[in-house]
Amino acid sequence: MMILDTPIESLPATSPLTIKRLKLIGIETYCDLLNYFPYRYEDYSIISPIMSIQEGETVTIRGTVIKSTNEYTKRGYKLQKITLQDKTGSLQITWINQPYLAHIFKTGVTLSVSGLVTRFAGKLTLQPNGWEIIKDESMHTGRIIPVYSEIHGLSTKTLREKVFHVISHLKNTQEPPESLPTEVLIYNNLISFHEAYIEVHYPSSKERLKQARLRLGFNEMLILQLSLLLKKHEQKQKKVMYQFSLDDIEKKQKIKNFIERLPFKLTNGQKEAIYDIEQDLKKQNPMNRFLQGDVGSGKTVVAALAAYITYLNGYQTLIMAPTEILADQHYQTMLRLFKETSVKIAIQTGSKKNLKKDSSNFDIIVGTQALLTKSLIFNKVGFIVIDEQHRFGVAQRALLKEKGGEPHLLTMTATPIPRTLALTLYGEIDLTVISEMPQGRLPVKTYLVPSKKRQKAYEWIKNKILTDRCQTFIVCPLIEESKEETKISVKAAKKEYERLQKNVFPTLRVALLHGKLKSKEKTEIMQEFTRKKYDILVSTSVVEVGIDIPDATIMIIEGAEKYGLAQLHQLRGRIGRGNRQSYCYLFSDNQEPAVLHRLNFFSSTTNGAELSEYDLHHRGPGNIFGTNQHGYLKLKIASLSDISLIKQSKNAADYLIKKSPDLKLFPKLLSSLNSNQPQTHLGKSSTI
């Protein structure tokens, strides 16, 4: 049996309670323990003679205990004091309320202590962060020390000791075995898998730690890239249930007529997207395309044209949106676009149900998760559209596809995602990006408003509403205030609605919209806002998607620092939908320089790709979606912000697949892929 297969019950000097706690975090074997990586490190590698230490340094000192006492303070604290002596001098070190140390720090013991050098009562001392009795090799002092996430009562010191035991055994083996061919290691300047695991836990230097993290991160990203490439290959092997034909002259003429009847001209980006989709629909294997484009770039029209092609071939289209508001928006858009055709359109949401069990009377069915209802039977689904697809789980998307056997699939998002990140997240999908906006669309003017100018902004907005008959969104990040949220002065939607209606805009008509309202209530409010019954809509970020109000030309975003730039960009996309100049005002009480820089950057550009790149590099990949990756990728060493690593691993994956499409030439790599190894905990970017 390999060492890494050893069950953790074999760990020496380990209590049943510690074993139980290890198992609670998924550690069953030595391999699992080895894959519980440090989330940061402390550098205690500077070993200083006592007489040379300086205040403010973080050092390790080594010497012999010449005095050890327990003392009580007037306040009841118990102090453990030792005097440590080396060849150059002596130093007193104090611990608080750790009386068991008196039995360990006996006179004559050789001790190593690490910590920060401080001054107390005029004398230098050490604030001890780590200590150990000197043996063959240091574990807690005198080196770069790993710090592990403490969970379920497991201290970082305990975890360090258990990992150290495993590492000490690995040094005389070649475990874990190498999974990459030599040419990949040499080309990418990578150390061996074996070395990487030893150095990531107990690095011999900062440079070796960097190499270890690069190697493990490379492997982690490579497994992801290979998995996506194999999925893409598997997708190419599938055959559609219903074959499309686009070469018929009559069909071509109908498609041309449909485009000519549109109340606007297609942009070049839309034309390119339609071309990509048409080429996919001609193939025998099902389309799996990801369409990305800014809010208002015209993705829905592209999807509608593909749905029309599907209709002309005698098949049905399903369009699934994450919210009833967005589903209803798509439904209304489809009704307008297809009003001069014989295409029959239905909507299926929690509150609106055109379908019972049989859907044969409809050609396009728009809905929410209600489309997944088991009792719903679809006749000939040839095309599926999933909007804002990252808001749905993998299982939900799979269930929808099952409704149509092997239909063509188009997923869409208005969330600006850097291209490299998109290819990593959706590597098994063909990518199309609409990078331009319709002609005549004026960029939204965006301003970060200082607190002292808030009242003037309100007065300007009031005058604008009264003179131009425009409408305004006021977006708050919360529905109600909690004690913690009140402390940081975040505007809550309900309270803000009451304040604005009573004190700020008493003569204007103000409505409130938030996610806790029933679907029917939300729909009614939006319809009334569309019909201009209200001048101002106070809302949570529920307005982020699916609301198209041409007369809404002003938006206030409260607590703007709470949002990622991609989410701010989507919110801003709710205005500027017509040909009138629109304005977005960012309100924030946070005056931190980094926050102000980020919000000023947002104010300076309307380019979604630039904003997403900024967030990726400054706030991490989690902020692309406004959540911590929303359950996408649980990477432990690699980072989605590391563009260089993504490109490196992608090139390596392409090389390996080209050399062996089924990876059978690389059995260890295939084994890792099949078992999804290495399985590691979520960790932060490590720092020293």
* Residue 90 pLDDT exceeds 50: yes
| Average pLDDT of span 348-374 | 85
Residue 403 and residue 266 in one domain: yes
Which of 211-215, 448-452, 477-481 has the lowest average pLDDT?
477-481
Q: Predicted confidence band at 51 (pLDDT cuts at 50, 70, 90)? A: very high
130 DSSP β-pair partners: 114
* Residue 668 pLDDT exceeds 70: yes
| Average pLDDT of span 429-435 | 84
Residue 586 and residue 479 in one domain: yes
pLDDT, residue 544, reads 56
* Residue 347 pLDDT exceeds 90: yes
Residue 590 and residue 472 in one domain: yes
CATH of the domain at 113: 2.40.50.140
* Residue 628 pLDDT exceeds 60: no
Instruction: Using alpha carbons, select from 382, 424, 387 the residue that is nearest to residue 299.
Output: 387
> What is the C-alpha radius of gyration for the chain, rounded to an integer number of angstroms?
31
619-651 burial by CB neighbour count: b if 16+ within 10 A, else e?
bbbbbbbbeebeebeebbbbbbbbbebbebbbe
Residue 666 lies in a domain: no
Residue 669 lies in a domain: no
Residue 489 and residue 403 in one domain: no
Residue 436 lies in a domain: no
pLDDT, residue 683, reads 29
pLDDT, residue 441, reads 77
Contact of 575 with 569, CB cutoff 8 Å: no
Residue 458 and residue 592 in one domain: yes
Residue 307 and residue 390 in one domain: yes
Q: How far apart are CA 373 and CA 276, in angstroms?
A: 31
Of the residues 605, 623, 641, the one at which a domain ends: 605
Residue 683 lies in a domain: no
Residue 120 lies in a domain: yes
| Average pLDDT of span 433-441 | 78
pLDDT, residue 519, reads 76
Residue 265 and residue 136 in one domain: no
pLDDT, residue 626, reads 43
User: pLDDT tens, 249-279?
Assistant: 889 999 999 999 998 899 999 999 999 999 9
CATH of the domain at 350: 3.40.50.300
Which of 63-67, 179-183, 435-439, 583-587 has the lowest average pLDDT?
435-439
Residue 133 and residue 66 in one domain: yes
Contact of 372 with 400, CB cutoff 8 Å: yes
| Average pLDDT of span 302-315 | 95
Of the residues 121, 142, 163, the one at which a domain ends: 142
Residue 354 and residue 259 in one domain: yes
User: pLDDT tens, 481-528?
Assistant: 554 443 333 457 888 899 999 999 999 999 998 878 887 888 788 889
Q: Predicted confidence band at 302 (pLDDT cuts at 50, 70, 90)? A: very high
Average pLDDT, the chain: 85
Q: Predicted confidence band at 408 (pLDDT cuts at 50, 70, 90)? A: very high
pLDDT, residue 338, reads 95
Contact of 139 with 104, CB cutoff 8 Å: no
| Average pLDDT of span 383-389 | 86
Residue 112 phi, psi (nearest 5):
-120, 130
Q: Which domain holds residue 261?
A: 249-283+298-413
Residue 267 and residue 365 in one domain: yes
* Residue 380 pLDDT exceeds 70: yes
Let me know if 686 is exposed, middle or buried by CB neighbors in 10 A (0-12, 13-18, 19+).
middle
Q: How far apart are CA 387 and CA 15, in angstroms?
A: 52
pLDDT, residue 676, reads 56
Residue 474 and residue 597 in one domain: yes
User: pLDDT tens, 6-34?
Assistant: 999 999 999 999 999 999 999 999 999 99
| Average pLDDT of span 125-137 | 86
In this structure, the chain runs to a length of: 688
Residue 457 and residue 379 in one domain: no
Which of 25-34, 304-313, 334-343, 392-401 has the lowest average pLDDT?
392-401
Of the residues 605, 638, 654, the one at which a domain ends: 605
Residue percentage of the chain with pLDDT more than 90: 47
User: pLDDT tens, 545-592?
Assistant: 556 788 899 999 999 998 888 888 888 988 887 778 999 999 998 889
Residue 149 lies in a domain: no
* Residue 688 pLDDT exceeds 50: no
| Residue bearing the bigger pLDDT, 675 or 509 | 509
Residue 647 lies in a domain: no
Residue 612 lies in a domain: no
Q: Predicted confidence band at 94 (pLDDT cuts at 50, 70, 90)? A: very high
| Average pLDDT of span 356-369 | 86
The structural domain count of the chain equals 3
